[in-house]
Amino acid sequence: MLLMLQRFKEILKSAYNYNEALEREKLSQENVNLLREKLKSSKIVPQSLVDKQLLLFLNACKSDVEKSAVLIENYYKIKRSSPEFFQNRNVESDEIQNCLKNQYYVSLPTTPDNNMLIFHSLKNFDPNSYNFDSAAKTYIMTTEAYTFNHGPRAGVIYLFDLKGLSYRFLFKPSISSMRKGIKFLEEGIPFEIKQVHVFNTVRFFNLIVAIVKPLLNSELLQKLHLHNENINYEEFYKNFVPKTHLPREYGGLLKSVEELHQQNCQNLTNLKDYFIYEEQQTKLDFDQYVDEFLEEMNKI
């Protein structure tokens, strides 16, 4: 275990700049300390969470310590009840490599108004190449890699492209997985969802909405923006995301989706040890030296 902790220390050195994030998001170390004290009685939240991890939740709740504690509890409850999304997150596994081979997962530059920007679409249009649980796991890992590298932000904007989606894809996710995924979006993610954009809405998209709508709360539905194939991109750039932050397939000034996807694949590979450690963090008993561990880690 000590070797694992030493390795995590090395991993943390490449994470986002903590002091810069405190200042940028107008957060305080005092509230981080209060949140840590609040969580000491938790039977679910790992006591080994470092300040860089706690700060994400505090920022998502706009420095409200009480709400942050609830959010972290929800996050780890959902992780426990959703092993299909949060366990076996070895980037080099056949499961995740299959996702990276058949779908696009892209982290785009932080927007001018300080929001994370995450893109996802199909690469292979064969439904047999797609597994919903594995895709959700890989997508969550992409967002976690973003926050590991860039720290807390004002929120997140999700971009999905439905090009290539057919009826057969509708039978891929189970109702249970859909419920768990939506519950995570609504109650567990350590950032605020600002907007969700869906490009190339297919003819049967109303059916998709009908299936998902009963599972979504009204607040999330209000953030959903649908765009058909005749989208006015100039209006999109003006109202939502500037072309400087989009792949060239969408009239943007960035590299192609394929090139950006490959960059994310490399980033996920670079963080292989982090994902393995983060999964183990919920299982290890740190009681005998957690204070010493945190004192050392939080200096990084």
Query: In the prediction, which pLDDT does 287 show?
Result: 53
* 8 Å CB contact between 208 and 236: no
The tens-digit pLDDT sequence of the chain (300 residues) is 566 667 777 888 889 999 999 999 999 999 999 999 999 999 899 888 899 999 999 999 999 999 999 999 999 999 999 999 999 999 999 999 999 999 999 999 999 999 999 999 999 999 999 999 999 999 999 999 999 999 999 999 999 999 998 877 776 788 899 889 989 998 999 999 999 999 998 776 677 777 777 767 778 888 989 999 999 999 999 999 999 999 999 999 999 999 999 999 999 999 999 998 888 877 655 555 566 666 666 766
What is the C-alpha separation between 47 and 284, in angstroms, rounded?
Answer: 10
Half-sphere exposure of 29 (CA within 13 A, CB side): 5
* AA letter at 23: E
What is the C-alpha separation between 263 and 258, in angstroms, rounded?
Answer: 9
* 8 Å CB contact between 119 and 247: yes
What is the C-alpha separation between 38 and 25, in angstroms, rounded?
Answer: 21
The DSSP element (H or E) to which 55 belongs, if any, is: helix 51-60
For the purposes of burial, counting CB atoms within 10 Å of the CB of 206, is it exposed (0-12), middle (13-18) or buried (19 or more)? exposed
* AA letter at 27: L
Whole-model pTM: value is 0.91
| Phi, psi (degrees; rounded to nearest 5) at 92 | -90, 5
* AA letter at 231: I
H helices of the chain, in order, are 2-12, 18-24, 29-38, 51-60, 65-81, 83-86, 94-102, 132-150, 175-187, 205-212, 218-222, 233-239, 257-270, 272-281, 290-297
The DSSP symbol for 195 reads E
Strands (E), the chain: 103-108, 115-122, 155-161, 193-199, 224-226
Query: In the prediction, which pLDDT does 289 show?
Result: 53
What is the C-alpha separation between 60 and 68, in angstroms, rounded?
Answer: 8
What is the C-alpha separation between 14 and 9, in angstroms, rounded?
Answer: 9
